Structure 1
């Protein structure tokens, strides 16, 4: 998926403030600009974080409603050493975040 479309999708479900934060930038406007088809591309590290965040969102939304999936990004988790997934993504622990999301499916 194109990074602009991917960022736009994340902006829609998480909001640009959270998207900017997980990408490692304090500027909310960066996430808005990245979502624009004619906007700039994020830095390489930020793009990697955004792509992992999107994969994480896809994994969560398969088993959680949108509100629960959004809240998941904001809740401290033992499997992330007490950090929130948002903070873990911003510090390049995306693989841990994705594993945590995949293991958080509600019991059937």
Structure 2
């Protein structure tokens, strides 16, 4: 079933509300299910992928910097998803991006280039790339 694309402002507002309203366990679970436990650990900046599973099961919580990376990845993913769809959002997050010096948004988030990634997402939405 095809859903109507949201405007940029609607998508940004919805992504922000979705991210702010989600417990970190839900975000960890979503990223683990969407990309894999290993990729979610890479995003969070932790060496042990099993740590993501512990966060998802609420056995413990991530450090602030790891939580910030996970929330940023979730925010950007949901923004693209609301503009397009889940499949495009996943591919966009994983693919090389010329605005990010050919790093993927996942790599850039892991490197704490948060504003660059959101700017690239907005450019994608506008059709600049």
- Is TM-score (shorter-chain normalized) higher than 0.5? yes
Aligned to 1:15: 36
- In structure 2, the residue matched to 1:60 is 80
- Counterpart CA distance in 2 for 1:10 and 1:75 is 16
Counterpart residue number, 2:124: 104
Match of 1:24 among 39, 45, 64: 45
5+ long unaligned stretches in structure 2: 1-21
- Pairs aligned (count): 106
The structural deviation recorded for 1:4 is 0.9
Report what 2:16 is aligned to.
none
1:86 matched to 2:77: no
Normalising by structure 2, what TM-score? Answer: 0.74
SS at match of 1:83: coil
Normalised to the residue count of structure 1, the TM-score between the two structures is 0.86
Any gaps of 5 or more consecutive residues in structure 1? none
Matches within 5 A, 1:29-40: 29-37=50-58, 39-40=59-60
Residues 1:44 and 2:31 aligned together: no
Measure the CA separation in 1 of the matches of 2:85 and 2:126. 11
Offset at residue 106 of structure 1 (A): 6.8
Q: Deviations over 1:21-50 (max 9, x none)?
A: 11112322111111112x111111111101
Q: Which has the larger radius of gyration?
A: 2
Contact 1:13-1:66 at 8 Å conserved across structures: no
2-structure distance, mates of 1:64, 1:18: 22
